[in-house]
């Protein structure tokens, strides 16, 4: 049995075990370059839901990806084909492909802008008074420039709309494409018949501003760096594998279990594995928030994302690809960023009304103005402007832009949001309930004062071999002691740890096992030492309780201890209410009672006996040091293991909700102003394109504006 280095070292292994056991994580990811609205989300998810080999699919509009849960290693080709039949272009997720898609948009944007400016120059001449043959000549030149440019530059809209119609559905690109085609067609008809007006400049302006909006949205989405992107950036793309003593460069995708990897000082650990060198110091702050370097001994676990501080060293791969801790955390973060709260559902319902409403309004505008004026061309122009101005792109961006910013900032603050609806529920919490033992307090063993340096070394080595909370606390108390080299280390369930050092037997465990009256004891050879045990507050516990109360949250304390002991601990914490002698079912019942009274309860716990309460509560948080069952049950995990970021998480969630509501307000105000203007004939197709793009950009900027979510 290998000896565990320290609590920080075991954190990586605990995270790996927890994530490996999570059967709700996606197994595949596809890139969807042409999705941009709520209807696209629904269309993609519905198309994938009909496939028998897919358990679940969730679209992240901000990242233009769909996370799919299916059999690991399954071929995604049938899924890509099914999406193509439904009108959606899909590829296996690749960063380079995404950048290529952005370059394609930029090329089309540049061509549309160049063509638009040249056609506008010709239009100036017409507006200045050119008539008859001169006017017709300028119109034909404008047609020669505008028509090829519109066909090429508006191709993303045309192909998306055509795919949707082939699948017998509508998306927002259908009316956009219709508006561009009608504007070009009407202009060509006017040119061919010698009419006084042509709208090639409006068609190109529409295309240009729509493309500009798409490009800006893509850029700003990338500016809202996601937690998944931050985690993915930790993974090196190539590694050095040792083969017959030679270092062979390989892609990380080609690393297999059992491969020996060579890591230089400063290198990022690419996969989970075990150290094959004597010792190494690593920085694990990116994954666990552990600020101090951690010492890892031979045979102990290295976690993907660790930074090797002393090297070079070698390691053996034990979990690769999607099974590694880092990949699992990436998937959890991406899943959280694709959150679809009740606000998203509201956007879904609003967007479902879009197609019949916008086409109905456009038809009504055309019929009404035709009847009122008898001018079919003027009526058609107003219908085109109505089609353009009513596009609800802003509505589709209202939630994902904010969710991406919020989860990214929370992650960088050491908070991993792992539930899809956690942000919404955290924002509505009004009461906080803490488990005491392990969450707010920690039992601590104090080493006997009369131990020699050699005995302290043996004691630390025994403590390192156990994951028991008391052993982890003892390791922290012996931080400056170097552990001894022990043989035949093994843990006796329910008793303690047994090892040998030469012919000497060493044991650490329950006092009864070692012949003492009770408590915890340490034996080396014939000598047995009793261990003094006390309970202390975890760092930041009292400050966290006080800060939550300052923010207006009543704080309850739950514990299985006696009322006397619970009161003594609460004298240091200052919680509003203390509930003692609580069994697991009592904790669950108390939270249910609070929620029946109308409260939205946040439960914070770390033990197996807290799992029922964590799942009962409206929202739940587990420290990074919590047991696997608690972390799986919680909506949010504090990666650093401390409570100091709890108040920040609640504050960010509330501000995120306000930003979402503000975005809905912006979209509603835009529609309240723009639609009457279009129906009244006061908005040309050019003004309609400007208004629609501006609304989409304003919603995204509102999510990203400086200081919006701190």
C-alpha closest to that of 408 among 656, 623, 580: 656
Say if residue 665's pLDDT is above 50. Answer: yes
Give yes or no for residue 490 having a pLDDT over 50. Answer: yes
Q: Tell me how long the chain is.
A: 710
Specify if 11 maps to a domain: no
Q: What does the pLDDT read at residue 1?
A: 32
Average the pLDDT over each of 56-65, 338-347, 534-543 and give the range with the smallest value: 338-347
pTM of this structure:
0.63
Q: Which of 272-276, 337-341, 455-459, 473-477 has the lowest average pLDDT? A: 337-341
Higher pLDDT, 419 or 426: 426
Q: Is the domain of 211 the same as that of 245? A: no
Whether residues 594 and 662 share a domain: the answer is no
Nearest CA-CA partner of 421 in 616, 600, 619, 604: 619
The whole-angstrom separation of Cα 309 and Cα 8 is 15
Spatial separation of the C-alpha atoms in residues 530 and 522, rounded to whole Å: 6
Average pLDDT over residues 310-335: 82
Q: Report the pLDDT value the prediction gives residue 147, as an integer from 0 to 100.
A: 94
pLDDT in tens, 570-591: 999 999 999 998 888 888 889 9
Collapse the DSSP code of 70 into the 3-class scheme (helix H, G, I; strand E, B; otherwise coil) and give the result. strand
Q: Residues 462, 432: one domain? A: no
Mean pLDDT of 645-663: 87
- The total domain count for the chain is 6
Which pLDDT score is estimated for 546? 95
d(CA 650, CA 602): 10
Q: pLDDT class for 3, splitting at 50, 70, 90?
A: very low
| Mean pLDDT across the chain | 81
Local confidence band at 707 (pLDDT 50, 70, 90 cut-offs) = very low
Residue 433: the pLDDT is 96
pLDDT band, very low/low/confident/very high, at 12 (cuts 50, 70, 90):
very low
Q: What backbone phi and psi angles, to 5 degrees, belong to 552?
A: 100, 15
- Residue 36's domain comprises 32-93
Whether residue 697 has pLDDT greater than 90: no
CATH number (domain holding residue 476): 3.40.1110.10
Tokens read off for 513: 């096992």
Q: Are residues 431 and 552 in the same domain?
A: yes
552 and 624 co-located in one domain:
yes
Q: How confident is the model at residue 168 (pLDDT cuts 50, 70, 90)?
A: confident
pLDDT of 151 above 90: yes
Could you tell me the maximum CA-CA distance found in the chain, to the nearest angstrom? 115
- Split at pLDDT 50, 70, 90, the class of 687 is confident
Residue 92 has pLDDT above 50, yes or no: yes
Are 429 and 466 members of one domain? no
- The domain spanning residue 290 has which CATH number? 2.70.150.10
Q: Backbone dihedral region of 438: left (phi > 0), alpha (psi from -120 to 50 degrees) or beta?
A: left
In the annotation, is 272 catalytic?
Answer: no
Residue 496, pLDDT score: 85
Average pLDDT rounded to a whole number, residues 343-353:
57
The most confident of 217-231, 461-475, 531-545, by mean pLDDT: 531-545
Query: Which residue's structure tokens are 């979402």?
Result: 660
Query: Which range has the top average pLDDT, 5-9, 32-36, 145-149?
Result: 145-149
Range 641-666 average pLDDT: 85
Sheet containing strand 65-70, strands side by side:
54-60, 65-70, 28-31, 91-92
Q: How far is the C-alpha of 355 from the C-alpha of 351, rounded, in Å?
A: 8
Last residue of a domain, one of 204, 223, 242: 223
What's residue 183's pLDDT? 82
- In tens, the pLDDT along 372-408 reads 988 888 888 888 788 777 766 666 666 767 777 888 7
Q: How confident is the model at residue 9 (pLDDT cuts 50, 70, 90)?
A: very low
Given a contact cutoff of 8 angstroms between Cβ atoms, the answer to whether 42 and 169 are in contact is: no
What pLDDT does 230 receive? 63
Q: Per the domain annotation, does 590 fall within a domain?
A: yes
| Mean pLDDT of the region 55-66 | 80
The verdict on residue 360 lying in a domain is yes
Average pLDDT over residues 635-645: 81
Same domain, 544 and 526: no
Q: Is the pLDDT of residue 544 over 90?
A: yes
pLDDT winner (highest mean) among 249-258, 469-478, 642-651 = 249-258
3-state class (DSSP) for residue 316: strand
Q: Supply the pLDDT for residue 19.
A: 43
Q: What is the mean pLDDT of residues 624-632?
A: 72
Which residue stretches of 22-131 are H helix?
38-49, 77-85, 95-127
The answer to whether the beta carbons of residues 643 and 687 sit under 8 Å apart is no
433 and 447, same domain (yes or no): no
* Region 355-371 average pLDDT: 85
Task: Classify residue 256 as exposed, middle or buried by CB count within 10 Å of its CB (0-12, 13-18, 19+).
Answer: exposed
- Predicted confidence at residue 395, as pLDDT, reads 64
Q: Quick check: is 333 in a domain?
A: no
Burial of 94 (0-12, 13-18, 19+ CB in 10 A): exposed
Looking at the fold, whether 606 and 523 belong to one and the same domain comes out as: no
Q: What is residue 255's predicted lDDT score, i.e. its pLDDT?
A: 93
Q: Is residue 25 one of the residues assigned to a domain?
A: no
What are the distances in angstroms from CA 37 to CA 82, 224, 347, 350?
19, 18, 10, 12
- Residue 477's pLDDT is 83
Decide if pLDDT at 482 tops 80. Answer: yes
Query: What number is the average pLDDT over the span 103-127?
Result: 85
Q: Are 116 and 208 in contact (CB under 8 A)?
A: yes
DSSP 4: P
The residue among 351, 356, 372 whose CA lies nearest residue 680 is 372
In a domain, 5, yes or no: no
Domain final position from 500, 534, 568: 534
Which of 153-162, 489-498, 586-595 is predicted with the least confidence, judged by mean pLDDT?
A: 489-498
Q: Do strands 431-435 and 555-558 pair parallel, antiparallel, or not at all (unpaired)?
A: parallel
pLDDT at 8 over 50: no
Asked if residue 178 and residue 300 are part of one domain, the reply reads no
- CATH code at 577? 3.40.50.1000
Specify whether 632 is located in the same domain as 546: yes
pLDDT at 15: 45
pLDDT digits (tens, 9 = 90+) for 16-38: 444 444 455 677 888 887 787 66
Cα–Cα distance measured from residue 242 to residue 316, given in angstroms and rounded to the nearest whole number: 10
Give the separation between CA 628 and CA 612, rounded to whole angstroms.
14
Q: Which of 136, 297, 306, 435 is catalytic?
A: 435
Is 555 found in the same domain as 452? no
Range in 94-108, 112-126, 336-350, 365-379 with the lowest mean pLDDT: 336-350
DSSP letter for each residue of 584-636 = HHHHHHHHHHHHHTT--EEEE--SGGGHHHHHHSSEEEEETTS-HHHHHH-SE
Whole-angstrom distance, CA of residue 339 vs CA of residue 18 = 21
Per-residue pLDDT, averaged over 600-629, amounts to 84
Bridge partners for 307 per DSSP: 268, 283
Rg (Cα) of the chain, in Å, rounded? 32
pLDDT of residue 392: 61
8 Å CB contact between 362 and 383: yes
pLDDT tops 80 at residue 249: yes
Q: Is residue 116 part of a domain?
A: yes
Contacts of 691 (CB under 8 A, 6+ apart): 389, 670, 674, 683
pLDDT of residue 352: 62
* DSSP assignments along 442-501, one per residue: EEEEE--TT--HHHHHHHHHHHHT---HHHHHHHHHTTTSPPPP-EEEEEETTTEEEEEE
**Domain endpoint, select from 274, 301, 325:** 325
- Specify the pLDDT at position 35: 80
Q: Using DSSP, state whether 35 is helix, strand or coil.
A: coil
Q: Which residues pair with 622 in a beta bridge?
A: 637
DSSP tag of 239: E
Domain for residue 551, yes or no?
Answer: yes
């Amino acid at each position: 049995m290998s000896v565990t280095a320290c609590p920080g070292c075991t954190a990586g292994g605990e995270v790996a075990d927890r994530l490996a056991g999570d059967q709700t994580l996606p197994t595949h990811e596809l890139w969807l370059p042409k999705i941009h609205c709520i209807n696209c989300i629904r269309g993609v998810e519905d198309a994938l839901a009909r496939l028998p080999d897919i358990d679940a699919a969730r679209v992240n509009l901000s990242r233009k990806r769909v996370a799919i849960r299916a059999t690991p290693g399954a071929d995604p080709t049938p899924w890509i084909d099914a999406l193509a039949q439904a009108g959606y272009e899909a590829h296996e997720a690749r960063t380079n492909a995404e950048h290529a898609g952005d370059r394609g948009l930029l090329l089309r944007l540049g061509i549309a802008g160049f063509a638009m400016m040249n056609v506008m120059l010709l239009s100036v001449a017409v507006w200045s008074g050119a008539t008859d043959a001169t006017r017709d000549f300028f119109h034909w030149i404008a047609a020669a420039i505008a028509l090829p440019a519109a066909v090429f530059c508006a191709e993303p809209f045309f192909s998306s709309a055509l795919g949707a119609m082939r699948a017998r559905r509508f998306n927002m690109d259908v009316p956009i494409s219709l508006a561009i085609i009608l504007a070009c067609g009407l202009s060509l008809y006017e040119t061919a018949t010698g009419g006084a007006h042509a709208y090639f400049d409006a068609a190109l302006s529409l295309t240009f501003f729509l493309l500009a909006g798409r490009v800006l949205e893509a850029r700003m989405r990338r500016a809202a760096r996601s937690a998944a992107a931050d985690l993915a950036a930790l993974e090196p793309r190539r590694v050095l594998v040792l083969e017959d003593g030679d270092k062979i460069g390989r892609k990380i995708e080609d690393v297999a279990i059992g491969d020996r990897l060579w890591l230089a000082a400063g290198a990022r650990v690419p996969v989970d594995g075990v150290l094959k060198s004597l010792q190494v110091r690593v920085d694990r702050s990116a994954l666990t928030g552990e600020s101090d370097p951690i010492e890892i001994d031979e045979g102990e676990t290295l976690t993907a994302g660790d930074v090797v501080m002393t090297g070079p060293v070698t390691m053996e791969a034990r979990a690769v690809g999607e099974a590694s801790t880092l990949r699992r955390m990436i998937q959890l973060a991406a899943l959280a960023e694709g959150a679809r709260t009740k606000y998203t559902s509201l956007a879904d319902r609003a967007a479902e009304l879009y197609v019949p409403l916008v086409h109905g309004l456009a038809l009504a505008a055309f019929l009404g103005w035709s009847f009122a004026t008898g001018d079919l061309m003027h009526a058609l122009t107003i219908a085109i402007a109505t089609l353009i101005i009513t596009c609800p792109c802003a509505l589709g961006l209202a939630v994902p832009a904010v969710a991406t910013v919020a989860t990214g900032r929370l992650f960088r603050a050491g908070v991993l949001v792992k539930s899809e609806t956690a942000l919404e529920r955290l924002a509505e919490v009004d009461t906080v309930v803490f488990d005491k033992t392990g969450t707010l307090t920690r039992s601590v063993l104090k080493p006997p004062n009369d131990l020699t340096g050699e005995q302290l070394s043996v004691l630390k080595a025994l403590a390192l071999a156990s994951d028991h909370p008391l052993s982890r606390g003892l390791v922290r108390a012996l931080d400056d002691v170097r552990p001894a080299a022990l043989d035949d280390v093994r843990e006796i369930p329910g008793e303690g740890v047994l090892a040998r050092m030469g012919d000497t037997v060493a044991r650490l465990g329950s006092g009864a096992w070692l012949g003492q009256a009770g408590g915890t004891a340490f034996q080396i050879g014939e000598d047995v030492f009793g261990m003094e045990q006390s309970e202390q507050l975890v760092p930041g516990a009292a400050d966290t309780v006080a800060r939550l109360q300052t923010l207006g949250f009543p704080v309850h304390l739950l514990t299985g201890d006696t009322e006397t002991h619970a009161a003594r601990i609460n004298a240091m914490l200052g919680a509003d209410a203390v509930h003692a002698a609580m069994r697991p079912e009592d904790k669950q019942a108390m939270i249910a009672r609070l929620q029946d009274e109308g409260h939205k309860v946040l439960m914070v716990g770390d033990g197996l006996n807290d799992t029922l309460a964590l799942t009962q509560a409206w929202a739940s948080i587990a420290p990074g040091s919590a047991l696997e069952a608690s972390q799986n049950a919680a909506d949010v995990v504090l990666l650093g293991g401390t409570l100091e970021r709890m108040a920040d998480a609640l504050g960010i969630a509330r501000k995120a909700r306000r930003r979402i509501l503000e975005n809905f307000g912006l979209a509603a105000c835009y529609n309240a102003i723009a639609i009457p203007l279009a129906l009244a004939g006061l908005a040309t197709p050019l003004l309609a394109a400007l208004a629609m793009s501006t609304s989409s950009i304003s919603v995204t900027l509102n999510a990203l504006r400086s200081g919006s979510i701190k």
